[in-house]
Structure 1
Amino acid sequence: MLSPLAPGAARSATTPQVTDILPSGVPLPPPTPVEVQPSDDPTTELLGNAGGVRPWLARHGIRINVQDVEELWGLAAGGLHPGPTYDGMTAVTLMVDTERSLGWRDGLLNISALQIRGRSLTGERLGALNTASGYDAGRSTRLFELWYGQGFFNDRLDIRVGSIDLDTEFLVSQNASFFLNASFGWPLSTSSNLYSGGPSWPFSALGARAKWMPIDQLVLMGAITDDNPTRGPFYSTIAPTQRDPSGTAFSTSGGTLFIGEAQFSGDVARWTAGKDAPSLPGTWKVGGLYDTGRFPDQRYDSRGGLLASPDSTGQPLYHHDNWMLYVVADQMIWRAAKGSNETINVFMRATTNDGSRNRFATEIQGGVTFDGLVPGRGDDTIGVAWGTGFYGSRAIGNARDAMRLGTSLAGALKPEQHVEVTYQAAVTPYLILQPDFQYFWHVGGTSFDPQTGHPIANGVVLGLNLTTTF
C-alpha cells in the first residue's frame, strides 16, 4: 500500500517496490508503518550507474534490479539434528515503464526471476512448523512473476493482470517484514492450509489484482487467482518447487482464490496531540480470502470413519470451499522529535478460519522494532517478535484418536511458539548484515518425534543474513 503519509509517494502502476521480488518477510528496507518507495539514487546500489547503462535504460523506461541474499544458519540446540546449513537466493527484476518506452501512459510491465539454492535448516535439522527463513523454499531457478499493470484516474485505480504473487501486497505487515522467520511474511494459516501454500513467494498464479484509492487514507484491494500454482494434490511427497521447477506451469487447475483487503492509514499523533506533535503514522488492515477448491478433513476419511483408525481408507473426506479472515496493524508509538528517524514501531496480526478443513484455525503474531536508536548507527534497526498458531478442533481430535488407537507416536498437539530477536545493520546503502536469534517451543507442534517417539527439545537457532543490492 502506498501511503499518502510518505512524501512523494508514487502509485504502484508506475513504480512498484523492487522488494516485491523478495518474500514478504524480507530484511529490506528497514521497517516503517507506511510503505516508502525505494530511492533511485545509484549510490544505493553496488554497481551504481553501471558505466552509464542504468541512466540510458532509465531514459527508455527500463529498470533492472538485482538482489542477492546469502544466509548461514545453525541449530545450536534442540530440534532434530543440531548443526549448520547454508541457503541463498539471487533475484532479478525487469520493469518497463510503458510511457517512456511506448508512450502508453501509466502502464508497467514486470518480469522477475529467482535462483534459489542451499539446504533447509527447518526441514533437515529443526523440524519446526514455522520456517526459520523466508528464503528456505527449495532449490530451483524459476520465473517468479510476469504481469502488466495499468493505472487509471490519475493512478487512483491500478489493475494488474498476469502471473502474480499475493503475499507482497495482501496480509502483509510492514513491520513484521523486517523479521527473517517466514511466518512473519506469509503465515501458517495460508502456507499450510492452501494448495502449495497459495500464490506466495516463490510461486505466482494466473489472475488479476485491482487496487483503488477512493480517498488518500483508504485503499481497497481485491484479487482473483488460480488457487493451486503448482498443480499438485493437497498432500504430496514431492516438493512444490520440484513439481514446477521453472515457474512456468501457469496452472488453471483446481479452484479459484478470491482475496480482498481494506487498508486505512492515519496519524495518531495528530488525532491526540495536534498537528505540531511528532508524526506517529499507522496502517490498519482487515481482509479475507475465499477458495472454491476441495480441502481435506482433518479427522474423518472418505467413508466417514476416523483417519487415525487402523481400518481407515487413508484418504481424507474432502470438503468444498475454504475461507479465512484476518486483521493487521502497524503503528509507530514513539518518535524522538518531529521528522526524526529515531522511532519505535509495533505490529500485530491475527487470522481465523474453519477448523474442520484447516490444520491451523487461529494464528497470532506481534512484535516491536526500534529504528535508529543504536548510538552512532542511525540506519540500524533492532526487532523482537513472537508468533504462534493454534490447531483446529478436528486436527486436535485426530491426534487424540491416534493416541487412543495407538497409530501414532507423536502424542498430543501443542501450539508451536517462536520468538525472534534480530539486528539489521546497514553496512553501506547497498549492503545489509542481519544477525538473528530464534527460539522455538513445542517444535513441530507435537509432544514427541513422530518417527522415534522421543521428546523433541526446544530449538535454538542462530542465523546471519547478508543482502546485497546490485
Structure 2
Amino acid sequence: MKNILGASAIFWSLLCGSECTLFASENSPTDSSPPVTATRSSDSIPKSIWEGNTLTGNWGSLRPKLADRGVTVAPSLVGEDFGNIHGGIRKGNVGNGLFSLLLDVDTAKLTGWHGGGIFHTNFLYAFGPNLDRTDVGDIATLSNISAYNTPHIQELWYQQPFCRQNATIKVGWIAADSEFFTSSSSSVFIDSDFGTLPLLSANDPYGLPIYPIAAPGVRLRVQPNPSLYYQGAVFSGNPGSATQNVNGLDFRISGKTGVFIINEVGYLLNQGQDDKGLAGAYKIGSFVHTGQFHTWSSQADSALNGGLLDEQGPDFGIYAVIDQQVWKEESKILSVFARGGYAPSDINVVNPYIDMGLNLIGFVPRRDNDVAGIGLARSFISGPYSAFNQAANGAASTMTAETVIEATYKFQIAPWWTIQPDFQYIFTPSAVNGSRDAAILGLRTSVVF
C-alpha cells in the first residue's frame, strides 16, 4: 500500500508540478448535439438579428443578467432530411431532428466563491425516423443526431476545479464521447462514424455512455500546461440502450455487469494563449469493460449444438487520434485528421476501425466561417463474428468491411444559423459481401435560439 501511495504522489507531482498554471482547456470536444454559441455580454448588443449569436436575442435584458450571474440557457434545434437515391435496401427519404436545451451554471459567479465549479445538464428530444435500418442497412448511422424518439435527459454533472485550476473532477451522469477520442476537424461531418468510434458504439452488448445515453461516472482531467493533459473516467458498466433507458432517468449501477474505464493522454501543439503556429492535437487512449463477454465461437456452438458459452472477459481496446492544421493564412485554414483503434476480434464485431479526412475553412471569398470537409471511415468486421453470423443466424454471405465516404459543406448564414448540404456513399452497407452500395443526399440546418 505504501508503494502504491508513493507512486501516486510522484505521478500527481509530475502532472501538477510545483507551480500550477491556469487551466487551459482543449479544443471544444465533438459531440452529437448542435454547437452552442456563448451569449453576448450586456455591453455588446447586436445591431440586427443577423449579427447576434442567438435567434431570440437577449430576451430583453434577461439573458445578459443571467450570464452575469453565471447562468447560461441555450436552446437549439437541428433539422435534416436524408434520401437514399441509389442502392442499399431500397430508395427512400426521411426527415428528422433534434431539440436540445442546455443549462450551465458557473457556481463561482453565482455564489461569489472563487473556488466554485460548473453545474451542467442538457435535455434532448430526438424525433423522426432514419434510413439506416429500413433503406440502407449500414452499421453506424447516417446522422449523428439520430436517436430513440423520446424526451430525454442526457448529462447531469458537476465539475470542480482544483490544484490551482490545473485539474478538474467531474461527477454525475456523463457521456464519454463528449470528451474522449474527439477530433475538432471531424466534428463537421454528419455520419456518426466520425463522432463516436464504431470500435465502441458497435461492440459493447451492455451499452456504453455515448450519445444519446450517459452513465453514472467520475472523470478526472489534469492539464499542467497548455500542451499536455491526462484524463480518465470510470462509468457504470450497464447504462442500458436508448430503448431501455427511455428518458435517461434509469440510473443503473450494478457490480454484476462491471465498470467501463477509459484513459487518454494528449499533446496539444500551439494551443496556448500566445501561440501563433499551426495547431494540432495528438492523443492515445485505452478502454476496458470489466464485464464478462462470450466468445463468438462458443456462441455459435451454443446456438447450434447447445454447447457451453466460453466467457472471455474483460473486453478492452486502444485508439489514437491525430488532428493537425497543415496550412493557415489569415482566416483560411486547412487541417487533416486521422483516428483508429483495435479491440479483440473473438468478442467484438468491429475490429479494427480507422477514419481520416480534411477540412477547409474560409476558402470561399467573403465566407470566412464556412467549412468544407471530406472524410473516409472504414469498419472492419472480425472474422469470428462473421463465422458466428453464418452459423447461428443462417447468413448466406461472409462479412468483411463497411466503408463510408462523406463530402459536406457548412454555410454559416448567421452566427446562430447554419445550413449544411451533405453527400455520403457507403460501400458494402452492413459489411455483408454482396450488399448494394448506397448513395445518400442530405441537408441539415441548425438554429441556436
TM range (shorter): 0.7 to 0.9
Q: Do the aligned partners of 1:298 and 1:316 also contact (CA within 8 Å) in 2? A: no
Superposition misfits of 4+ residues, deviation over 3 angstroms = 9-12, 25-29, 315-318, 399-402
Deviations, residues 301-351 of structure 1 (Å, cap 9, x unaligned): 3xxx62563x346x8543321101000010001112xxx220110000010
Distance in structure 2 (CA, Å) of the matches to 1:144 and 1:46: 24
Tell me which amino acid in the other structure corresponds to 1:167: D
- 1:24 alignment partner in structure 2: 31
Distance in structure 1 (CA, Å) of the matches to 2:202 and 2:302: 19
Tell me which amino acid in the other structure corresponds to 1:306: D
Compute the displacement of 1:112 (Å): 1.2
Question: TM-score if structure 2 supplies the norm length?
Answer: 0.87
- 1:306 alignment partner in structure 2: 301
Q: Residues 332-343 of structure 1 correspond to what in structure 2 (within 5 A)? A: 332-336=325-329, 340-343=330-333
> Does residue 89 of structure 1 match 2:103?
no
- 1:428 alignment partner in structure 2: 414
- 2:248 alignment partner in structure 1: 247
Compute the displacement of 1:363 (Å): 0.3
- 1:318 alignment partner in structure 2: 311
Structure 1 vs Structure 2 CA RMSD: 2.4
Q: Give structure 2 stretches of 5+ with no counterpart.
A: 1-21, 42-51
Deviations, residues 166-200 of structure 1 (Å, cap 9, x unaligned): 10100111111110001110021100112454101
Q: 1:159 to 1:412 in 2, by over 3 A?
A: same
Q: Do the aligned partners of 2:278 and 2:327 also contact (CA within 8 Å) in 1? A: yes
- 2:209 alignment partner in structure 1: 199
Tell me which amino acid in the other structure corresponds to 1:300: S
- 1:57 alignment partner in structure 2: 66
SS at match of 1:124: helix
Distance in structure 2 (CA, Å) of the matches to 1:459 and 1:316: 37
Which range moved further: 78-87 or 361-370? 78-87
For 1:372, which of 362, 385, 396 is the aligned residue?
362
Tell me which amino acid in the other structure corresponds to 1:263: G
Q: Residues 309-458 of structure 1 correspond to what in structure 2 (within 5 A)? A: 309=304, 311-312=305-306, 317-336=310-329, 340-399=330-389, 401=391, 408-447=394-433, 455-458=434-437
Aligned-pair identity (%): 28
Deviations, residues 69-92 of structure 1 (Å, cap 9, x unaligned): 101111111111211111111111
Say how many residue pairs are matched. 413
Q: Do the aligned partners of 1:435 and 1:463 also contact (CA within 8 Å) in 2? A: yes
Distance in structure 2 (CA, Å) of the matches to 1:341 and 1:130: 34
Q: Do the aligned partners of 1:27 and 1:180 also contact (CA within 8 Å) in 2? A: no
- 1:468 alignment partner in structure 2: 447
Distance in structure 2 (CA, Å) of the matches to 1:438 and 1:191: 20
Question: TM-score if structure 1 supplies the norm length?
Answer: 0.83
Tell me which amino acid in the other structure corresponds to 1:430: W
> Does residue 137 of structure 1 match 2:155?
no
Distance in structure 2 (CA, Å) of the matches to 1:341 and 1:26: 25
Q: Do the aligned partners of 1:364 and 1:387 also contact (CA within 8 Å) in 2? A: yes
Q: 1:59 to 1:376 in 2, by over 3 A?
A: closer
Distance in structure 2 (CA, Å) of the matches to 1:316 and 1:180: 38
- 1:188 alignment partner in structure 2: 198
Tell me which amino acid in the other structure corresponds to 1:418: V
Distance in structure 1 (CA, Å) of the matches to 2:430 and 2:331: 39
Q: Do the aligned partners of 1:327 and 1:351 also contact (CA within 8 Å) in 2? A: yes
Q: 1:180 to 1:316 in 2, by over 3 A?
A: farther
SS at match of 1:295: coil
Distance in structure 1 (CA, Å) of the matches to 2:206 and 2:93: 27
SS at match of 1:347: strand
Q: Do the aligned partners of 2:298 and 2:309 also contact (CA within 8 Å) in 1? A: yes
Distance in structure 2 (CA, Å) of the matches to 1:282 and 1:296: 40
Distance in structure 2 (CA, Å) of the matches to 1:27 and 1:250: 25
Distance in structure 1 (CA, Å) of the matches to 2:405 and 2:207: 22
- 2:268 alignment partner in structure 1: 265
- 1:236 alignment partner in structure 2: none
Compute the displacement of 1:416 (Å): 0.5
Q: 1:147 to 1:172 in 2, by over 3 A?
A: same
For 1:283, which of 273, 277, 281 is the aligned residue?
281
